[in-house]
Each structure stands twice: as C-alpha cells, then as structure tokens.
Structure 1
C-alpha cells in the first residue's frame, strides 16, 4: 500500500459517485469481457475492471453506495438505495468527496483482507459488504436489517416465497452449469461474472432483470475447486436462494444499499475456499 494507491482509489470512488454505482459496475463487466476477448484472460484489463478504476469495492461499493446514501442524507434524493442514478445529476461536490473517501476505505479494507490477513474468501466482495455496512451505520439510520413499518396490514418476508423457489433454483442451476463449464474447461472463472455484470445494462434501461453475478461466480468457484459441473450447479442454486434471502434481510426497508450478491459471494466463497479447495 502506497500513496499512489490511496490517490487512485480516491479517484475511483469519485468516479463511482459521479456515474452511479450500477453504471460503474456494468462497466466493470464490459471491461472484464474485453480482457477475455482481447487477451484471452483478464490481465491488464482485469486490473482495470477489478482495480482502482472500476473495482466493485471502490467504484460501486465505495463511490456509488456511499454517494447515494449521502445524497439522501442532504436531501438531494428520497432514495438512499438508488444505485442506478448518476449522482452527477445533483452537482454536489460533497457527494463526490464522500464517494472518494469511501473508495479509499474500500481499498484499505481490501488490502487488509488480502495482503495482511490473507482471508480465504472473495476479498473484493467482502470489501463491498464492509463499506455497505459502514455506510449503513454512519450515514444511514435504519440499522443492519432495515426498519420495517408496522401497519398491521402486511408481514415482512425474509425467505424466498414458495412460488419463487422453483424459478430461483432453476435459474441457479442453469446459469451455474454454463458458468461452471467455462470455469472447468477454459479456467475462465470470472467469465460468467463479467457477463452477468454487463447484463445489468438492461436493468439500467428499466427492464426487470435481476442480478445474477453471485450465481455465476459462486458456481464457477465451486466447479473450479472440484472439477465437477454438477457441484458448481448446486452452488449456483444455493447462491440464487441466498441472494434472495440477503435482499429481503439486508436491503429492504432501508436507506442505504448493502449488496445482496456481494453478501452471498462472501459467504459461499468462504465455504468453497475453506472446504472444497
């Protein structure tokens, strides 16, 4: 860790706040795919996609998430969970400053997890969660699991609804199988993740396309660790169900964003890297 890395992560956080969390994450996927297309692997473009420029922990989790929560706290928006809107819309230097500082904190968290502690976990995803939780308790006011209004008309759901479980499992198995295939046959563990991230461009356009990068990445991790596509597919289904649970638990009735896919990736990667690798 040096001063240049600190300064670069500040810039990445400002970028994430300026363009918005989801647009920055979409670019992460596109640049990652470009790395596969041009070089056959991530290589230098991977360092851009997952590093200081567009790293999910810095641009998305740092600039995008922290910037959106701060924008709500100063009255610019009603939704601190809005990671789609470019925060350049509000033309507030303070939002960019908060995004930059959060980008630095995300970089420091990643350095701690990867270089100091060397944790057997997806360290980028864990850094995204770290910043999300930090933002929730410093800028947000709704607590870790959100503040659900009690009106006597509805009860809060935490687990996937019965009618959605078959669909979640089938999507998890299907995406898990194809992502696992490329992880095993081509050692392209991050390929499915990048495709899933890039596909969120349709979400940005307003189409109801849920995130799937937790499914494709966790299944690829499991398949790469075992060489078995079916095990990868099983983890894909588990990731789909866990992602829904995390969404309902940590990202509902709240005023900031704690990322459900990153939470899922952190938990399952710890299991995979500890028990299967």
Structure 2
C-alpha cells in the first residue's frame, strides 16, 4: 500500500509539528479543529472537513499525537529530554532538528499504518449495514508507540510511575467513567437527530481540547477515550430503542468499561514502560471492535 503525495507530505509535516509542539499540545490543537469541523458538518453534511482535515494526515491523532510521543522517546534516548513519559513538553525547545525529523518519519508511518488498518474489510449486518471492525486511527497510535518503544525504550522503567495520579484509584476511575459516559449520552440525545453521528466526534475533540491544561501542569480528567465510545454506544442503543433512559444507561455502561480498560492498560503496561504507550488509544481500539461485534450480534 502506498500513500498519495499529499498524504505523504501532509503526514510528514503533521508529524514534525507534533514533535515540535509536543504530543499533548498537538492533540489539543487537533481538538480545536475537531470541534469546529464537527459543528460545521452538523450544519453542512456534505463537508469533508471531519475526515479530510480533523482526522486526516496532518492533524489526526495517529500523526500529530503519535509522532509527538515517538519523538519524546527519541529525544530521551539521545539524552535531550528528561523522560519519554513526558509528552507535555514542546520538543522544539531543545533546538535539535533530528527530533523534529523523527516526528516527520513517524507521521508518515502513522498515516501508513492507519491506511493499512483501514483496509481491513468491513462486515455487513443482516440488514445490510456496513460495520468497520476497528478504529484504524487508534490502532495506528498503539502500533507507532510500540515501534518507538522497541527502538528507544526497550528496558522497563526502574520506578513505576502512575499514568494519572488524580484518576488512578478505583473510585476515581469509576466515577469519571460514569460521569463522562452520562455526559456523552446526554449530548448525543441533545444533538440534532439528522447529524447525531457527529456527537461522539465532537465530544472527542472537546475532551482533547481540555488536555491543554496538562501542558501547563494542571490536573484535569482525561476523558476522550470515554466520551467517544459512550456516544457511539448511545447511537447503537438508539438504533434499537427510543427510550432515553436505556440510551443513557448504555452510554454510562460504555463509559465505565472504557475507563476501566484504559486504567488496566496503564497499570499492566504503561507503568512499567519508559515511554508513553497511550491508554486512551488502547481503550478506544478495544471499544470500537467490541461495539462492532455487538452490532453484528444484534443485527
């Protein structure tokens, strides 16, 4: 599989920008673009801004965020960055263009892997509805992080470091999962019915935007891996019932599961790793496939 010239150039530029801004800074920028694009798409369904721009080869999380995380691992490997787990620091501060170059390379790799994952054939339900079996962007984020870890962070961490200390214990994980799920379900129900598929993406962007606070050292709940699957679950439920209570319960249940999945990955894998292996991307990837299987099961 080959990338088009525009994809190649865009992904290289987006990856370099992600390295320069830092993974979290790039992700927050993407959040702004996603929010604006989804709102415009709700007004004009024919716009290509969501897929082509917000989640495209420049600003998509598989390019900008993933490249920033990979570049942080490389910068730590060459002893310019203190910790590959630190994805908040803008890496341009080190004035080392090899770091930016690594971002560009991983941007292209991220776009290629997303295209590769997206080429997996969709499955059709009994009524002919086409169901994608995976979230290709989330899968790409996971794979690029594993490749970067294999290159520059193979040794396990000497000291275990929690992912989000304020979102670590069981009460916090379950509470944030339930609250974010409830918010996602409520937003889905409030969204104009003809454009409800945009609700989950809007929430993903809004959740990403809040993470700008982490760049400045302020604690905020991380919820994009909860609000997106929860809104998608609300959509699955809404296809089979008009009861708002059941739709909300489905969203809350999905939010709880996604929150737990991310924390399980964080405790089993991330805490033992020297670089950032994104728990939200893992949770979104698992939830996307699980929701696809549920849709196939209920027809």
Which TM-score bucket, shorter chain as reference?
Answer: 0.7 to 0.9
- The answer to whether residue 130 in structure 2 is matched with residue 139 in structure 1 is no
1:185 Cα offset (Å):
4.7
Task: Tell me if the contact between 1:203 and 1:210 (Cα under 8 Å) persists in the aligned partners.
Answer: no
Q: How far is the alpha carbon of 1:34 from its aligned partner?
A: 1.5
1:127 correspondence with 2:140 = yes
1:217 aligns with 2:228: yes
Number of matched pairs: 266
Gaps of 5+ in 2: 123-131, 239-246
RMSD after superposition: 2.4
- Tell me the TM-score normalized by structure 1: 0.88
Q: Quote the Cα distance in structure 1 between the aligned partners of 2:138 and 2:175.
A: 24
Equivalence for 1:190: 201
Partner of 1:200: 211
Question: 1:56 aligned to 2:61?
Answer: yes
1:190-224 deviation line (CA, Å, top 9, x unaligned): 12211110111222221111311011011112111
* Aligned partners of 2:162 and 2:266 also within 8 Å: no
* SS at structure 2 position matched to 1:57: coil
Aligned counterparts of 1:254 and 1:120: Cα–Cα separation in 2: 28
Taking the TM superposition and a 5 Å limit, the aligned residue runs for 1:21-100 are 21-40=23-42, 43-46=47-50, 47-61=52-66, 63-100=67-104
Deviates more, 1:109-118 or 1:48-57: 109-118
Distance 1:207 1:156 in 2: 18
- The structure 1 residue matched to 2:21, chosen from 11, 19, 31, is 19
Point out the more displaced range, 21-30 or 187-196: 187-196
Conserved in 1, the CA contact under 8 Å of 2:185 and 2:248?
yes
Q: 3-state DSSP class of the match of 1:40? A: helix
d(CA) in 1 for partners of 2:250, 2:97: 48
Matched, 1:105 2:99: no
CA contact (8 A) 1:214 1:265 kept: yes
Tell me what 1:152 maps to: none
Instruction: Report whether the alignment pairs 1:255 with 2:266.
Output: no
TM-score for both structures, normalised by structure 2? 0.82
Q: Tell me which moved more, 256-265 or 185-194.
A: 185-194
The answer for unaligned runs of 5 or more in structure 1 is: 150-154
Runs of 4+ off more than 6 Å: 155-158
